[in-house]
Amino acid sequence: MPTPRLAADRLTEPTWRVDAQCRSKNAVHFFAPPHFERKQEKDSREGAARALCGACTVRTLCLEYALDVQEPHGIWGGLNELERRRLMRKRQAESDSRPA
């Protein structure tokens, strides 16, 4: 499993972020609010975020970045926290099962 990057490494912002759909007023959809969120509200918020991701030209770069730094919060590349963890485990299992 990759090692999370240090906060100092994040100071050099990847250039793909300039083209990301989430850099607008719609950014509110990508992260949970500071108050309790009911399942229906979460599903609606995440659905709005996923719709923006679906039209985003840098979706793959965004997802790979989130996986690389092990981003623990929000929708990145169209996947939420749980989905990214599952994808990381799947990739790790596939990597472990390959012959050396």
DSSP 37-48: --HHHHHHHHHH
CA gyration radius for the chain?
A: 15
Query: For residue 86, is it within any domain?
Result: yes
Position 16 scores a pLDDT of 86
Query: For residue 7, is it within any domain?
Result: no
The pTM (predicted TM-score) of the whole model is 0.79
Per-residue pLDDT tens for 40-57? 999 999 999 999 999 999
Mean local confidence (pLDDT), 71-96 = 94
Query: For residue 1, is it within any domain?
Result: no
What range defines the domain where residue 47 resides? 15-97
Query: For residue 21, is it within any domain?
Result: yes
Using CB atoms within 10 Å of the CB of residue 79, give its burial: 0 to 12 exposed, 13 to 18 middle, 19+ buried: buried
Percent of the chain with pLDDT over 70: 86
Query: For residue 46, is it within any domain?
Result: yes
- Residue 93 pLDDT level (bands cut at 50, 70, 90): very high
Mean local confidence (pLDDT), 29-49 = 95
Position 26 scores a pLDDT of 77
Average pLDDT score, the chain: 87
**Which is more confident, 21 or 61?**
61
Query: For residue 3, is it within any domain?
Result: no
Of 48, 43, 85, nearest in space to 63 by CA: 85
Number of compact structural domains in the chain: 1
